[in-house]
């Protein structure tokens, strides 16, 4: 009799343990398997952007032009994007009157229009207008970089006041007067036009002619001016300019830098 009572007691205790375990398991919160342990998605969507102005300028190419783009963010959302490609001498954005390739102009206009309408780089249709493959590549890379900057709050502060600034040498040298015209857009130097202009009649040269390979026997000063133009635009001024990389025509180099500094003194 005693053995039956003990067996019955043990059976009841075992049932209680099993029931308690099942009840505890059923009361646990369900696991959401849709959630990833860590979210590493880049923060570039609207609403995740920091208010401000963002700008990127690429170096001047061998063809004498370069892309630059500005993005504005307000209340965490994209307000506007302006992408353009500029001519290093005039500082003008490419247009129908100064650039011979119409496809490039159309592509730039279309890409700006699409992005400003959709506010989504992934939604841009790069095949909407044919041609200008390099422009499409520059646009995609630069806009993504701008979005990355806006996600981090790496805002842009203009260095100069927009406008065209000019300076001339105090006196001519061997019949040539040096002068420079600098164009500033969005606080960036986008054009440097340095020239030495004839102020007197010379062999094959009329007053007002610009010094060129057609009327001047020594090409190095002209080459130095072109190399320095690129450096100044890329560097956005003459501070800490790596002029040692430019050999020869020291007087041209020194005179051009002095004129650029004089012209930019009115832009600050």
Beta bridge partner(s), residue 195? 179
Q: Give the residue from 47, 89, 71, 91 showing the smallest Cα distance to 139.
A: 71
Token pair 């959401």 is found at 32
The predicted structure's pLDDT at residue 47: 56
The rounded distance, in Å, linking the Cα atoms of 173 and 183 is: 25
Q: 163-264, what's its fold?
A: Sufe protein. Chain: A (3.90.1010)
What is the signed CA dihedral for 169, 232, 71, 124, rounded to 10 degrees? 120
Radius of gyration of the chain (CA): 33
What does the domain layout of the chain look like in residue ranges? 52-152, 163-264
Contact 190, 183 (CB under 8 A): yes
pLDDT in tens, the chain (268 residues): 434 434 444 444 444 433 344 444 333 333 333 333 333 334 444 458 999 999 999 999 999 999 999 999 999 999 999 999 999 999 999 999 999 999 999 999 999 999 999 999 999 999 999 999 999 999 999 999 999 999 999 999 999 999 999 999 999 999 999 999 999 999 999 999 999 999 999 999 999 999 999 999 999 999 999 999 999 999 999 999 999 889 999 999 999 999 999 999 999 9
Positive/negative CA dihedral, 189, 233, 228, 261: positive
The predicted structure's pLDDT at residue 17: 36
The predicted structure's pLDDT at residue 123: 97
Q: Which residues of 182-196 are buried (b: 16+ CB within 10 A; e: fewer)?
A: bbbbbbbbbbbbbbb
CATH architecture of residue range(s) 52-152: Alpha-Beta Complex (3.90)
Domains 52-152 and 163-264 share a fold: yes
The predicted structure's pLDDT at residue 244: 87
The predicted structure's pLDDT at residue 74: 97
- Tokens read off for 110: 């279309």
Beta bridge partner(s), residue 181? 166, 193
């Amino acid at each position: 009799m005693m053995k039956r009572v003990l067996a019955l007691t043990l059976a009841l205790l075992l049932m209680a343990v099993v029931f308690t375990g099942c009840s505890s398991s059923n009361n646990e919160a369900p696991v959401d398997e849709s959630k990833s342990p860590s979210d590493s998605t880049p923060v570039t969507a609207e609403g995740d952007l920091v208010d401000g102005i963002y700008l990127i300028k690429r170096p001047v190419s061998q063809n004498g032009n370069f892309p630059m783009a500005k993005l504005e963010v307000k209340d965490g959302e994209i307000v506007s994007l302006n992408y353009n490609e500029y001519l290093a001498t005039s500082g003008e954005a490419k247009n129908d009157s100064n650039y011979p390739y119409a496809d490039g102009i159309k592509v730039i206009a279309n890409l700006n229009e699409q992005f400003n309408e959709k506010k989504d780089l992934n939604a841009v249709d790069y095949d909407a207008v044919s041609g200008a493959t390099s422009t499409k590549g520059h646009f995609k890379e630069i806009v993504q970089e701008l979005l990355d900057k806006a996600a981090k709050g790496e805002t842009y502060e203009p260095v100069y006041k927009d406008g065209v600034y000019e300076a001339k040498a105090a006196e001519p040298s061997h019949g040539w007067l040096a002068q420079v015209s600098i164009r500033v857009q969005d606080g960036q130097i986008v054009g440097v036009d340095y020239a030495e202009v004839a102020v007197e009649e010379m062999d094959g040269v009329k007053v007002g002619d610009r010094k060129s390979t057609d009327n001047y026997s020594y090409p190095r000063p002209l080459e130095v001016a072109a190399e320095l133009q690129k450096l100044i635009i890329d560097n956005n001024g003459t501070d800490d300019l790596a002029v040692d990389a430019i050999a020869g025509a020291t007087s041209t180099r020194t005179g051009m830098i002095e004129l650029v500094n004089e012209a930019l003194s009115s832009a600050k």
